[in-house]
Amino acid sequence: GGSTSTTMDGRPMTFADMCAETYADGIAVVHKGKLIHERYFGALKPHKPHIGMSVTKSFTGTLAAMLIAEGKIDPQAPVTEYVPELKNSAFGDARVYEVMDMTTGLKYTEVYTDRNSDVWSLRRANGMAPIPPDYTGATDIFALLCMQEKQGEHGKAFAYKTVNTDVLAFICRRASGMTLSDLLSDRIWAPMGAEEDAHYHVDRIGTESGGGGLSTTLRDLARFGETMRNHGYFNGRQVVPASVVAEIERGADPAKFKPAGYTTLPGGSYKSQWWITHNEHGAYMARGVYGQGLYIDPEAEMVVARYASHPVAGNAANDPVTLPAYMALAKQLMADG
């Protein structure tokens, strides 16, 4: 962990200082399949779970892509082919791939700092926030999805909205005939030989939060990252089809991503619930609020798994420090062989 980087605002930064400045609870680095760095800070310990927030989305997206590869989901099909109850909602005329890549046109807003933003309705529905007295909104995830209104056109531009992932999770449930928990256990968690159990946060009627509710240990998050880094092969078996990983690595159209204004991810795209950097190493990421992350660098054969408790929700608060640190470490590992 002796690499030094320069932050996006021009400050020199050691890897250790990066962890401290960005409120890391734990960080693990895997290089060529070996765990080369693992540190815990604060409350997190090696065998304790930590909530992944929206890192959860990349698990949901990968499961959906696996079901597509198995022929159980048609990405071009209307969402209503799998979830007909959504026909009168914003998703009534959306296609599966638009939900998967978050290019739906929705009125829904996701601004954590605005208490009137729709993300708080979602958090009340999924059980992450308390329901106020006299509340008339949805009190479970499915009811909330059925109430979503359309704004603009589907398929035109990327807009990051968690309700898309919750719809995708329902498509996965219907196509597989399994709960999201059983599907993750069956397709990824057990085959990759996870060391510990993981768990989902559920709403009041037992529906998993596919957009933000998965808790895992740091090591198991790193295992999943290494599975993806190694073209889906881990624990002596092909866990995720190599074609699924290759499609995620290729990413989507940066022109659809650009208007969303993610200044720390220039030239990026969003594919199957993963953030694709299109940087010189072809790195891609799972990302969650308050600093959760899984960074996969195929060129350097490096994976960084990180859990954190950043006081600021949005990743714009830690990207200027973390992303240069990951690239500097990748380059050092490549130079050292």
Tens digits of residue pLDDT in 287-296: 999 999 999 9
Q: Is 54 annotated as catalytic?
A: yes
Does residue 116 or residue 85 have the better pLDDT? 85
Distance of alpha carbon 91 from alpha carbon 72, whole angstroms: 20
Question: What pLDDT does residue 337 have?
Answer: 80
pLDDT band at 42 (very low <50, low <70, confident <90, very high): confident
Question: What pLDDT does residue 112 have?
Answer: 87
Is the pLDDT at 322 greater than 70? The verdict is yes
Distance of alpha carbon 331 from alpha carbon 281, whole angstroms: 9
Strand-pair partners of 290: none
pLDDT band at 283 (very low <50, low <70, confident <90, very high): very high
CATH number of the structural domain spanning residue 329 = 3.40.710.10
Average pLDDT, the chain: 97
3-class DSSP assignment, residue 163: helix
Is the pLDDT at 1 greater than 60? The verdict is no
**Chain-centroid distance, C-alpha 133:** 32
Is the pLDDT at 63 greater than 60? The verdict is yes
Distance of alpha carbon 111 from alpha carbon 106, whole angstroms: 14
Alpha-carbon dihedral angle through residues 178, 179, 180, 182, given to the nearest 10 degrees: -70
Is the pLDDT at 49 greater than 80? The verdict is yes
**93: which DSSP letter?**
G
Question: What pLDDT does residue 113 have?
Answer: 86
DSSP codes joined into one string, 167-223: HHHHHHHHHHTS-HHHHHIIIIITTTT-SS--EE-B-TTS-B-TTT-EEE-HHHHHH
Question: What pLDDT does residue 55 have?
Answer: 99
3-class DSSP assignment, residue 289: helix
Question: What pLDDT does residue 296 have?
Answer: 99
Residue range 311-326: mean pLDDT, rounded = 95
Q: How many CB atoms lie within 10 A of CB 267?
A: 12
Report how far apart, in Å, the C-alpha atoms of 56 and of each of 132, 151, 180, 215 are. Answer: 26, 26, 11, 8
Q: How many CB atoms lie within 10 A of CB 300?
A: 22
Percent of the chain with pLDDT over 70: 100
Is the pLDDT at 299 greater than 90? The verdict is yes
pLDDT in tens, 234-255: 999 999 999 999 999 999 999 9
Rounded to 5, what percent of the chain is helix, strand, coil? 40, 20, 45
- Nearest Cα to 210, choosing from 243, 240, 174? 174
Q: How many CB atoms lie within 10 A of CB 42?
A: 12
**264 in Cβ contact with 245 (< 8 Å):** no
pLDDT in tens, 143-162: 999 999 999 999 999 999 99
Q: What is the pTM of this model?
A: 0.98
Quote the domain boundaries for residue 196. 4-336
Residue range 262-288: mean pLDDT, rounded = 98
Distance of alpha carbon 331 from alpha carbon 325, whole angstroms: 10
The CA-to-CA distance between both ends of the chain, in Å, stands at: 15
User: Within the chain, what is the greatest distance between any pair of CA atoms?
Assistant: 62
Amino acid letter, residue 102 = M
* Count of structural domains, the chain: 1
Catalytic choice (3, 5, 54, 121): 54
pLDDT in tens, 87-129: 999 999 999 999 999 999 999 999 988 888 999 999 999 999 9
**322: which DSSP letter?**
H
